Amino acid sequence: MTTLMYAKGTCAMGIQVLLEEAGVAYELKKADFSKGEQHTPEFRAVNPKGKVPALVRDDGSVLTEYGAIAMWLAMTNPDKKLVPTDPEALARVIEALDFAVGTLHMLSWRMFRRPDAYSDSDDEQAKLKVRGKEAVEKGLAIANEQLAGKDWICGDYSIADSALYYVEFWVSEVAKWPLPANVQAHYERMKQRPAVQVSRKEEGAA
C-alpha cells in the first residue's frame, strides 16, 4: 500500500488532501518533528532529506518534494482531473503551485516561523519574523488578485489549490492572521471538500 511519510502541521497535509482527491488507498507513517524523529536512521533510510512529504509507492520506490508528488498523483489518476491537459493551462497550474510552495511557504512562511534557521541572534531573528510576515502578506495579496472572480486559483480545481490551502491553514489556524477576502473565500471552499475534511480531522482542526 502507498505510504505517506507525514508530520502534523506540515505541508504534507496538502499531499494527504491529494491522495484523498485521487482516491488512492494509503496509510500515514507519522514522524514527530518536535522529538526530532525526522533525523532518526529509520526516517533517513526512507528519505535522506529528513523532511516530509515523502511518498513510498506500491513498488517500494520513494518520491519526494511537494510538486513532484502532486504531479505524479495527478498524472497517474487522470480521471480525477487534478491537472489540465492543455499546455498553457498546465503551465499556469505549475506556476501557481511553485509560487505557493517556493515563495509563500519556503521563502516567506519559513522566514517567519523558523528564523532560527537563518540566524542565532535574537535581534536578527526578530527582524526575520517581521520580514517573513510581510513577505507572506505580499504573496497572499498576489494570490488574492489571482482569485478575483474565480473559485479556484487556476480556474478549475487543481493540485495548486492543495498547496495554497496548506499555506492558508498555517496563516489562519497557526498564526491567526486574517486572510485577504478572496483567499479567505478560497479557504472556506477548500474546507468544504471531503478530502480536506479528512486532512483537517487528522490535524485536529475538523
What grid cell was written down for 53?
512529504
**CATH for 64:** 3.40.30.10
Give me the pLDDT at residue 32, please: 96
What grid cell was written down for 6?
507525514
pLDDT in tens, 24-67: 999 999 999 999 999 999 999 999 999 999 999 999 999 999 99
142: domain range? 87-193
139 has a pLDDT exceeding 80:
yes
105 has a pLDDT exceeding 80:
yes
Say if residue 92 is in the same domain as residue 180: yes
CB 143 within 8 A of CB 163: no
7 has a pLDDT exceeding 80:
yes
What grid cell was written down for 118?
537563518
- Measured distance CA(187)–CA(183) in Å, rounded: 6
CB 104 within 8 A of CB 140: yes
103 in any annotated domain: yes
**What global pTM score does this model have?**
0.97
- Measured distance CA(150)–CA(104) in Å, rounded: 20
Query: Number of folded domains in the chain?
Result: 2
- Provide, rounded to the nearest whole percent, the portion of the chain with pLDDT above 70: 100
202 in any annotated domain: no
pLDDT in tens, 183-206: 999 999 999 999 999 999 999 997
198 in any annotated domain: no
Nearest by Cα to 173 from 109, 130, 78 = 109
The whole-number average pLDDT for the span 82-102 is 98
The whole-number average pLDDT for the span 85-107 is 98
Nearest by Cα to 89 from 181, 179, 157 = 157
Phi, psi of 155 (to 5 degrees): 95, -70
What is the DSSP code (8-state) at residue 65? S
3-class state of residue 29 by DSSP: strand
- Provide, rounded to the nearest whole percent, the portion of the chain with pLDDT above 90: 100
Give me the pLDDT at residue 140, please: 98
